[in-house]
Amino acid sequence: MAKLHSPFENRFGSKPTPGTFLLRFGRREVFVCRDFRHRYYRVSPFIDCSAGVERGHVEILMFRKWLLVLSRAR
């Protein structure tokens, strides 16, 4: 069986799932996926912002379920 390598896995620190997609707007990228990480702090029920895994990334957690990662395109 062939193993598929995704460019998203290393760049955003999360593994791709069927609901994962990447949008590019000029020099910016928006990566959207389901959030499966355990948070060790209290998360807002609607929207929560934090610094991303890499420098220059912003993570926005929507409704405790969807993770949006905003970054510069490479």
Distances 39 to 11, 36, 65 between C-alpha atoms, Å: 20, 9, 12
Strand partners, 31: 22, 69
pLDDT in tens, 3-60: 444 454 555 555 555 678 888 988 899 999 988 888 888 888 899 998 888 888 899 9
**pTM (two decimals):** 0.68
- Number of neighbouring beta carbons within 10 Å of residue 53: 13
Residue 60 corresponds to which tokens in the numbers above? 């926005």
Whether residue 50 contacts residue 68, with contact meaning beta carbons closer than 8 Å, is answered with no
Domain boundaries, given as residue ranges, for the chain: 7-72
Residue 6 φ/ψ, nearest 5 degrees: -110, 135
